[in-house]
Amino acid sequence: MSNDSIDRSIIGLIQGDIPLESRPFESLAKELKMSEQEIVARLRTLQKNGIIRRWGAVLRHQKAGYVANAMVAWKVAPDRADEAGNIMARFSEVSHCYLREVPETFGYSLFAMVHAHSDEQLLELIIAISEKTGLSDYQVIRSLREFKKASMKYV
């Protein structure tokens, strides 16, 4: 196997749930006919290269007490996007913030995922963000049902 295909196999296998065992990479190493040390070294390199963005536990935010969550899309002038995006990023309750290319039929290009412990808190938070950024035209887009949440299979 080439280096690249080994890394691809590793990436494929670590996107699920690794076994809760004292040596969690043992079966992965066996499967790829490598030592556990070698797997760990490759994981470290993948993390250093930014291919693994983070390693560890993924939580369900609802169960972590963040029961009020929303995607908020803001209308922003192109020359004000960076300033507003950076202000939003400084809120600890904002987990993701992106500027997106959006069609005119939608028109709201600055996206922030916001998390709070109650609906009331969520509303206060959105108002605080609006005041700090000076952006007053926005849509609060809450999820009603989860149809799918999975890891991508990069092959």
Site residues for another protein, window 29-88 (CB under 8 A)? Answer: 36-37, 40, 43-44, 46-47, 49-61, 63-66, 71, 81-82, 85-86, 88
In the complex, minimum distance from the CB of residue 2 to another protein, in angstroms, rounded to a whole number: 16
| Residues 99-138 interacting with another protein (rule: CB under 8 A) | 99-103, 105-106, 109, 111, 117
Binds another protein by CB under 8 A, chosen from 5, 118, 131, 151: 151
Say how many Å lie between the first and final Cα of the chain, rounded.
14
Nearest to 130, CA basis, from 66, 53, 76: 76
Lookup: tokens for 107: 């028109």
Q: What gap in Å lies between CA 6 and CA 12, rounded to an integer? A: 10
| Residues 13-32 interacting with another protein (rule: CB under 8 A) | 14-18, 20, 22-25
> Using CA of residue 64, residue 68, residue 73, residue 78, what is the dihedral sign?
negative
**141 touches another protein (CB under 8 A):** yes
In the complex, minimum distance from the CB of residue 34 to another protein, in angstroms, rounded to a whole number: 12
Position 8, amino acid:
R
